[in-house]
Amino acid sequence: MCGIDVGTGLLRACSWRWLKIRILGLLSAESRLARHFAPSDEQAQRLQLSARARGRTEHAT
pLDDT digits (tens, 9 = 90+) for 6-60: 677 777 788 889 888 988 888 888 888 888 888 788 877 787 877 777 776 555 4
Task: Indicate the pLDDT class of residue 3, thresholds 50, 70 and 90.
Answer: low
Task: Look at residue 5 and tell me whether its pLDDT is greater than 70.
Answer: no
The answer to whether residues 44 and 51 touch, using CB atoms and an 8 Å cutoff, is no
pLDDT given for residue 52 in this prediction: 79
The answer to whether residues 22 and 3 touch, using CB atoms and an 8 Å cutoff, is yes
pLDDT given for residue 23 in this prediction: 85
Measure the CA–CA gap between 6 and 26, rounded to whole angstroms: 15
Measure the CA–CA gap between 47 and 29, rounded to whole angstroms: 21
Measure the CA–CA gap between 12 and 36, rounded to whole angstroms: 26
> Taking the CB of residue 25, how many other CB atoms lie within 10 A of it?
15
